[in-house]
Amino acid sequence: MLRRSLLLFTVCLFTTAATAQVARPKLVVGLVVDQMRWDYLYRYSDMYGTGGFKRLLSQGFSCENTFIPYTPTVTAAGHTCIYTGSVPAIHGIVANDWIDRETGIYMYCAKDTTVMPVGTTSIREGQMSPRNMLTNTIGDELKLATNFRSKVIGVAMKDRGGILPAGHSANAAYWFDNKTGSWITSTYYTNGLTELPGWVKQYNDRRVPDSLMKNDWTLLYDKSKYTQSTADDMPFERLLESDKSKVFPHKYQSVIGSANYDPFRSSPYGNTYTMDFAKQVIQNENLGKGAETDMLCISMSSTDYIGHRFGPNSLEVEDTYLRLDKDIAALLTYLDNTVGKNNYLLFLSADHGAPQIGNYLKQDKKYFTAGALNINTVVKNLNKLCLDKFGTDGLIKKVYDYQLYLDNAKIDATAIDRKALKKFIVDNLKMIPEVWNAYDVDDFAQTILPPVIREKISNSYYFRRSGDVQFFYKPQYTDYGDTGIEHGAWYPYDSHIPCVFFGWGVKPGKTNRETYMTDIAPTIAAMLQIQMPNGCVGKVITELVK
């Protein structure tokens, strides 16, 4: 009798262990806000409602000192880093654009000539995929862990913001086509089919951007309440193409039906449109309704376009985040009602931050040194100097994100001493007042740099895609002209980003310990009890998973 009881107990124990499933949420939602500085979580908090950013912070877990561990801090690299837990030196997305060292070909981060556009006739907009990304993502690992039963989908107005986060094995990725004003994809995601899913076509047929742009962009509240912003009409802001002035209300009606929806991107309506479509994805793809965990990767692109034009201290940026706060609140309520409270895990972060506009800071010369440098003019002048010195024009082929790419074909054809050429360029760069440092990448090991900067540079260098000469501006100096802002530096204003976890398995709290963008993916992996992405260098945020 005793042996029989022990046998029955063992069989029951084995059966229970074999049938028990790993505890996971129904849905993981990644929300990346393009160009969101960390301080935006709090800068406008007096005007935020209770259901958006404040709900995330009060009910979620915030890593208050999260930084980007590489430079340059740009969109493609940032989105890739968040979802791979890796750095450009490993995942290969060194910038938005680069020149392939072996072929000399100009390359856009998501460009793929082996696929065709779906939903548009524009080759330029539609020939996109994640093939340039060398590592996989947390979404890829989720699919591997569930024998590809999980669904993973990416959504963003920027192609790179939807494609790279979703990973190589994504079920779908959608991005915005300026020509048609519609959501599109590529044959990479459709198994060669050239038609969008029926529900996406129906959504596009509703012409949601046209409906949104019939309304001028006016301030949500009385102008007197916007205490964190400058006056409306500032000379250092960039004019919107569809507008006649830089003041509210901003007008978009001229864009409707124009076959150029680019100004729509630079409106808060772009974020509302993206959020609305994300809800349609959840509904029509039944995300969070199956037996396995699904994942939705959402990126808010319009915050970046607006930030570039108007800068962090503008009425436009403040109003954009007040509107985004409402959009986030609506998304959380939607998830509560459809997936269920505590059934979804959401994280919010950003791909990079943004500096202040130099001319804004220079209004009070007593406190700030700041400015901008037209890098294209710099390259033009450097090429002239190289022509005078070496007898060949156009030796610098292109500049991308503080990296100069040389024309290797010309150098080889003319037998120019490459080392002497690079030293000449570096010496002249160092003579520019706005430049903090410059060096030949082959001399990186011998270049004197603070350890923290050396590590960020090392994390970014991939020899097949990185440039030949690297340079950096002084703090608060940026590229191009006297209006708007550009980002990409390692300085805190560009690299200090929000990182908030919310929902399933998350207990309220925060940490001021220094964490990194690379820590997001391994933390999600630990919570889901799956393998971290294959190029991951980040560490689990243990305060969150305890």
**Catalytic annotation, residues:** 75
**In DSSP terms, which residues pair with 61 in a beta bridge?**
501, 509
Write b or e for each residue in 381-413: b if 16 or more Cβ atoms lie within 10 A of its Cβ, otherwise e. ebbeebeeebebeebbbbbbbbbbbbbbeebee
Dihedral sign for Cα atoms in the order 139, 140, 146, 152: positive
Burial of 3 (C-beta count, 10 Å sphere; 0-12/13-18/19+): exposed
Return the CA Rg of the chain.
25
C-alpha to C-alpha distances, 539 to 129, 281, 341, 351, 521, nearest whole angstrom: 28, 31, 28, 18, 9
The residue written with tokens 């300085």 in the block is 491
Can you read off the two tokens belonging to residue 281? 């994805």
Residues 56, 29: Cα–Cα separation, whole Å:
13
Candidates 482, 237, 476, 474; CA nearest to 367 is: 476
Residues 399, 459: Cα–Cα separation, whole Å:
19
Contacts of 367 (CB under 8 A, 6+ apart): 361
Residues 112, 265: Cα–Cα separation, whole Å:
23
Candidates 81, 71, 89, 99; CA nearest to 472 is: 71
Region label for 536, one of left (φ > 0), alpha (ψ between -120 and 50) or beta (otherwise): beta
Question: Nearest 5°: CA angle at 202, between 343 and 276?
Answer: 40
Classify 472 as helix, strand or coil.
Answer: strand
- For the chain, the farthest-separated pair of C-alpha atoms sits apart, in whole angstroms, at 100
Classify 372 as helix, strand or coil.
Answer: strand
